[in-house]
Amino acid sequence: MSTPNAIKHTQTDNALSTIALSNTRDHLLTTGYKLIAQKGFTAVGIKQILDTAGVPKGSFYHYFASKEAFGEAIISHYFTQYKQRLNVIESQDISAQQKLYDYFQNWYDTQQSGCDHEKCLVVKLSAEVSDMSEPMRKVLHAGYQQTITWLATQIKAGWADGSVPHAANVAAESMAKRWYFAWLGASLVAKISQTDTPLAEVWLMTTTAMGR
């Protein structure tokens, strides 16, 4: 018969094992995220991810069936964290216009002057994997739609509180799509041209449309 202390130790060991497994998976995702955001999906191999993370090869396949599944998990994880940032903006006691302004100002600020792992994951993968991986394309699209829905909600709130001009015959979701697609495209062109001009142009367009 197991003693209470033995049971307690077993439960503790199991809990610690669960934490360790979770930490290893998160560590792989974080490492892969940084590498892929810097170099692109196809340029980064599983070996480089494992060597950089200091994790044995068997651990990778314990969590991810393939590199494609790993890419899906990275994108999904990214948009989960992104949603948390949107929630922080939404929770502030400011006008809807200011929430929109703060969101796009952050985009403008973080996409300027080069590309690092904090800035370019979605921009890089949008151009790279859409025709390469249907599962990755789908999770990217779902992430886009999550953000567009949030933007549309803020636009509607801005119309309601009078802080955002209400353009005639334009639905809030249509306006949100126009802004999001313009910013995504400008971010890509900024990378190609290595100038901030595309971002400055969409910044002017967006702030004018929101009444700033």
What per-residue confidence (pLDDT) applies to 121?
78
What per-residue confidence (pLDDT) applies to 160?
95
CA angle 118, 147, 40 (to 5 degrees): 35
Which residue in this structure is represented by tokens 């126009």? 178
Reading the chain (212 residues) residue by residue, the pLDDT tens digits are 555 554 444 443 443 333 344 588 999 999 998 898 888 899 999 999 999 999 888 888 889 999 999 999 999 988 998 999 999 999 999 999 999 999 999 999 888 765 555 556 777 788 788 788 899 999 999 999 999 999 999 999 999 999 999 988 899 999 999 999 999 999 888 888 889 999 999 999 999 999 99
What per-residue confidence (pLDDT) applies to 125?
83
What per-residue confidence (pLDDT) applies to 10?
41
What per-residue confidence (pLDDT) applies to 13?
40
Collect all residues with Cβ–Cβ distance below 8 Å to 170 and sequence separation of at least 6: none
Distance in angstroms (rounded) separating the CA atoms of residues 8 and 48: 40
b/e for 101-134, b at 16 or more Cβ within 10 A?
Answer: bebbeebbeebeeebeeebbbbbbbbebbeeebe
Total count of residues recorded for the chain: 212
DSSP per position, 132-150:
T-HHHHHHHHHHHHHHHHH
149: tokens are 């829905």
What per-residue confidence (pLDDT) applies to 6?
47
What per-residue confidence (pLDDT) applies to 3?
54
Distance in angstroms (rounded) separating the CA atoms of residues 163 and 133: 41
Model confidence, pTM: 0.82
Distance in angstroms (rounded) separating the CA atoms of residues 117 and 110: 11
Distance in angstroms (rounded) separating the CA atoms of residues 175 and 198: 19
